[in-house]
């Protein structure tokens, strides 16, 4: 996450404001009325369970299942990952075709109560614009995640290492094959660090009738692998609580306190997801106060923002997507409103093709207006 906050430019015209208001009303109108019994969710996370490739090896059969990875014999090791290719044309700029990510997962369960996970990621691999300029760019290699879990019971687990910050919903499922849009809401990217290096206690309570989950975490270690973006927090501590009823709906709350330059700042957030038949509604709101973070912090003041996203399944493999965002940055930057209108096509549960247009009343460099599309594969 970059410490530099980019300026927001003046609005190009009044059309964007009208589009923001109209699409926000459209999104709200798609929200379904509560039902007596929640139905199954959209088939976003459904993955096939049958191996399509079986090969003998000295360590046992190698079994590959699309979307679930390669199981390496009897070693209890699974190798998988995802990749995505983006075609983007921001307003006023050239079209760019970019091989954006290649992430490799390694999962090892050497003992029944021990789970080890790593994610190695290559970013910005190849980029070519519509004039043929480009090639291999300044690609970045990062250790995206590296942690171990020890399970005492369903109610208590311990995680140690580098993991995704459990603030809201988007950050912990942000991989392109698992989200509905190529662009990412600003409120899930700018106010907090996307990773934590430290430890976390987590678990699930009331598993028979509903799901009440908790996560208590802290960053008390220095970064052992630098991300391209500088971290805002030197040390942090946080809590996330979530309550849900089966697969129909869930709501969560997050709190994080983090230090920078020996001063502490605070962040709070609420999030929800609701699924009913062919409709999914998801949203997050975050408020951040850095007035006590000192002169060395990434700006001093208050940020707040939210997004509301609706997905409508119109065919078994075809989805309409709409999202409204508002993000109010620290002074003197003005607030920005964005609308995303898009479609998603899922020919298989582990493949998603997305196309969208982002409209904004002011330009935010982290999410500029324009056309965005991507092909993402979970392997």
Please write down the HEC assignment for all residues of the chain.
CCCCCCCCCCCCCCHHHHHHHHHHHHHHHCCCCCCCCCCCCCCCCCCCCCCCEEECCCCCCEEEECCCEEEECCCCEEEEEEEEEEEEEECCCCEEEEEEEEEEEEEEEEECCEEEEEEEEEEEEEEEECCCCEEECCCEEEEEEEEEEEECCCCCEEEEEEEECCCCCHHHHCCHHHCCCCCCCHHHCCCCCCEEEEEEEEEEECCCCCEEEEEEEEECCCCCCCCCCCCCCCEEEEEEEEEEECCCEEEEEEEEEEEECCEEEEEEEEEEEEEECCEEEEEEEEEEECCCCCCCCCCCCEEEEEEEEEEEEEECCEEEEEEEEEEECCCCCCCEEEEEEEEEEEEECCEEEEEEEEEECCCCCCCCCEEEEEEEEEC
The radius of gyration of the chain's CA atoms, rounded to the nearest angstrom, is 21
Model pLDDT, residue 123:
87
Best CA proximity match to 179, nearest among 263, 280, 267, 78 = 280
> Tell me, what's the pLDDT at 49?
66
- In this structure, is residue 2 part of a structural domain? no
Q: Assess if residue 318 is contained within a domain.
A: yes
CATH assignment at residue 90: 2.40.160.10
pLDDT of residue 132: 67
Residue 145 domain flag = yes
**Residue-level pLDDT at 131:** 72
Classify residue 131: in a domain, yes or no. yes
In a domain, 292, yes or no: yes
Number of domains comprising the chain: 1
pLDDT in tens, the chain (379 residues): 333 333 334 434 443 444 434 443 333 333 333 333 333 333 344 455 688 889 999 999 999 999 999 999 999 999 999 999 999 999 988 999 999 899 999 999 999 999 999 999 998 888 888 776 766 556 788 899 999 999 999 899 999 999 999 999 999 999 999 999 999 999 998 899 999 999 999 999 876 667 899 999 999 887 766 555 566 677 899 999 999 876 689 999 999 999 876 778 899 999 999 999 999 999 999 999 877 655 444 456 788 999 999 999 999 999 999 999 999 987 667 899 999 999 999 999 999 999 999 999 988 888 899 999 999 999 9
Q: CA 159 to CA 369: how far, in whole Å?
A: 38
Domain assignment of residue 6, yes or no: no
Q: Is residue 59 part of a domain?
A: no
Check: CB of residue 192 under 8 Å from CB of residue 267: yes
The answer to whether residue 329 sits within a structural domain is yes
The span from the CA of 10 to the CA of 27, in Å, is: 26
Q: Looking at residue 293, what is its pLDDT?
A: 52
**What does the pLDDT read at residue 31?**
36
Answering whether pTM is above 0.85, one says no
Identify the pLDDT of residue 234: 79
Domain that holds residue 32: 15-53+65-378
What is the pLDDT, as a whole number, of residue 207? 64
């Amino acid at each position: 996450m970059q410490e530099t906050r980019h300026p927001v430019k003046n609005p190009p015209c009044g059309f964007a404001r009208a589009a923001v208001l109209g699409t926000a009303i459209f999104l709200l109108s798609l929200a379904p009325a509560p039902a007596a019994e929640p139905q199954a969710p959209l088939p976003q996370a459904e993955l096939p369970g049958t191996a399509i490739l079986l090969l003998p090896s000295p360590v046992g059969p190698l079994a590959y299942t699309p979307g679930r990875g390669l199981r390496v014999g009897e070693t209890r090791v699974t190798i998988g990952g995802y990749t995505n290719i983006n075609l983007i044309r921001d307003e006023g700029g050239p079209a760019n075709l970019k091989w954006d990510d290649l992430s490799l997962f390694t999962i090892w369960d050497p003992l029944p109560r021990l789970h080890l996970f790593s994610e190695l990621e290559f970013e910005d691999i190849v980029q070519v614009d519509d004039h043929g300029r480009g090639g291999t760019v300044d690609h970045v290699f990062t250790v995206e995640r590296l942690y171990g879990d020890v399970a005492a019971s369903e109610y208590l687990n311990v995680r140690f290492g580098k993991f995704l910050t459990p603030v809201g919903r988007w950050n912990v499922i942000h991989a392109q094959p698992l989200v509905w849009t190529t662009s990412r809401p600003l409120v899930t990217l700018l106010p907090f660090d996307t990773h934590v290096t430290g430890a976390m206690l987590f678990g699930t309570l009331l598993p028979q009738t509903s799901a009440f989950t908790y996560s208590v975490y802290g960053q008390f270690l220095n970064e052992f692998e630098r991300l391209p973006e500088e971290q805002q927090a030197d040390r942090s501590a946080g809590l996330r609580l979530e309550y849900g009823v089966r697969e129909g709906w869930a709501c969560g709350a997050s709190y994080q306190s983090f230090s920078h330059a020996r001063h502490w700042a605070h962040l709070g957030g609420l999030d929800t997801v609701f699924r009913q038949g062919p409709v999914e509604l998801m949203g997050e709101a975050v408020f951040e106060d850095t007035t006590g973070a000192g002169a060395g912090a990434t700006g001093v003041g208050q940020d707040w923002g939210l997004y509301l996203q609706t997905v409508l399944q119109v065919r078994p493999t075809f989805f309409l997507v709409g999202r409204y965002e508002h993000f109010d940055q620290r002074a003197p930057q003005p607030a920005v409103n964005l609308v995303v209108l898009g479609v998603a096509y899922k020919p298989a549960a582990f493949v998603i093709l997305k196309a969208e247009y982002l409209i904004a009343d002011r330009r935010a460099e982290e999410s500029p207006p324009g056309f965005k599309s991507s092909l993402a594969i979970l392997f």
